Amino acid sequence: MATMADVARRAGVSVATVSHVLNDTRPVLPHTRQAVLDAVDALGYTPNTLARSLVTSRTRSIGLAVSAISNPYFTEILQGVESAALEAGYSLLIADPHDDPRHERKVVQLLHERRVDGMIVAASADPGDLVGYLRRHAVPTVFLDRLVDASAPEDVSPGEGAGAASVLGGPRFDQVCAEGTAPTALLVAHLAELGHRRIALVAGLPGLSTTSERVSGYREGLAAAGLAYDGRLLVSGNSESAGAERATSALLALADPPTALVTANNAMTIGALRALRRHGRSVPDDIALCCFDDFAWADLFSPRLTAIAQPSRELGAQAVRVLLDRLAEPDRPVRTLRLPCTFVHRTSCGCPEEPGPAGAGGPTAPSTLSEKGTAT
C-alpha cells in the first residue's frame, strides 16, 4: 500500500508539500500540485483519514439531522448539503429526527459522538433539549430551514445538574432559512386581487418558525387587502398530508366555506387536494388554490399549481458554507441568512392559461421575491 512518503518521492517534493496539497492547508504552485496529484493517481494512494483526524482533531465530516428526508423539499436540501460538502472535501453523516424532540436530541448526540466537525440541523417545534446539548458541548451548528431562539432559559434541559445554568452564556448559532412571511402575504394578496374575500390557510405544525412566519404572512396579506381575519379560516394541517386532508374537510363543512385556499407546504397541498376531490370540489372553478412549496410535479397537475418555490438546494449549500466559515473562524459574529423565494404563477389560482412555453411570460413566468416581498 502506497504511503505519503512514496507519493512525495515520485512527485519529487517533500512529505509536507504532499500534505498541503491533499489537505489544502497551504497554497502550492500549480505545477507542483499537479505533480502530487499525478503521483497519487499513479500509485493509487488513499489518505488515512483516521490517522489524520487523530493529528488534526478534525474528521472532515458533517452531521445532518433533517426530518422527513422523503419529502421532496428536504430531499433537495440534502442534495445541496451533499454537493457543497463534497466540494469542500467533507463527508456527510445523516440522521432523521422525525420531528420528535426526544429523538432529535438522541440522534444529534450520536452524530456528535461520531466526532463530526460540525452539525446542520432542522430543529423540531420544541428544541430545548437539543439546544441545551449543543451549547453544553460547544458543537459548531447551523440551524437550517427552521429558526431557533437559542437565548431562552428553557433551552436548558431539566435535571442537568448545577452546571446547567452556565450554558445560558454559551454559544449562539448560525441559521439559514428562506423568507416565509412576505411570500405568504403575496399569495393572499394575489387571491384577493382575483376577488376572493374568504381566503383560508392550512398552516403547518404549531411551534415551528416556518409555521409562525406563514401565519403572519397570511394575516398581513388579509390586512393589506382590507379583509377581516376570521379565525375559523385558519386551520392546522400539522405539516403533513393526512392532517391537511382533515383540516380542509373541516373548512368545507363551514356554513360559509372559503372560496380560496393557501396550503403552507407541499405535503399539505397533496392532502388538501385529496379532500377537495373527495368532496367533489373542482380547482379553480369551485375553489382557488395556491401553495407554499413548489415541487417537481406541480406543473403536471390539472390545473397547474400556483406556488411559492423555495431555494431548497441553495439553502443546503449555504448551510454548509456557513458551517465551514464557523469552523475556520470560531469567534466570527453569528449570522442568520434568509434567502428569497420565487412566485411561480400558474393556473390553480384561477388565472387563465396563456399561450407560449413555461417561463415565456404570463401566468407561467416565475418571479423572484426580494426580502421585502416585492416581485421582480
Q: What is the DSSP letter of 351?
A: P
pTM score above 0.85: no
Question: Which runs of consecutive H residues, i.e. helices, occur in the chain?
Answer: 4-11, 15-23, 30-43, 49-56, 72-87, 101-113, 128-136, 181-193, 209-224, 241-252, 266-278, 312-328
Percentage of the residues of the chain whose pLDDT score is greater than 70: 84
Find the range with the poorest average confidence among 36-45, 49-58, 212-221.
49-58
Each residue's pLDDT tens digit, 101-138: 889 999 999 999 888 999 999 999 999 999 999 999 99
CATH for 61-172+314-339, options being 3.40.50.300, 1.10.150.120, 1.10.10.60, 3.40.50.2300: 3.40.50.2300
215 three-state secondary structure = helix
Kindly indicate the confidence band of residue 20, based on its pLDDT and cuts at 50, 70 and 90.
confident
Helices (H) and strands (E) in the chain, counts: 12, 13
Query: Residue 297 pLDDT > 60, yes or no?
Result: yes
Helical spans, DSSP H, in 44-71: 49-56
CATH for 181-310+345-368 is 3.40.50.2300
Q: Where in the chain is the domain with CATH 1.10.260.40?
A: 4-47
Q: Which CATH superfamily is domain 4-47 in?
A: lambda repressor-like DNA-binding domains (1.10.260.40)
Contacts (Cβ under 8 Å, ≥6 apart) of 53: 59, 60, 115
C-alpha 76, offset from chain centre? 9
CATH 3.40.50.2300 maps onto the chain at 61-172+314-339, 181-310+345-368
Instruction: Work out the average pLDDT over 147-166.
Output: 45
Tell me the torsion sign for CA atoms 48, 321, 175, 219: negative
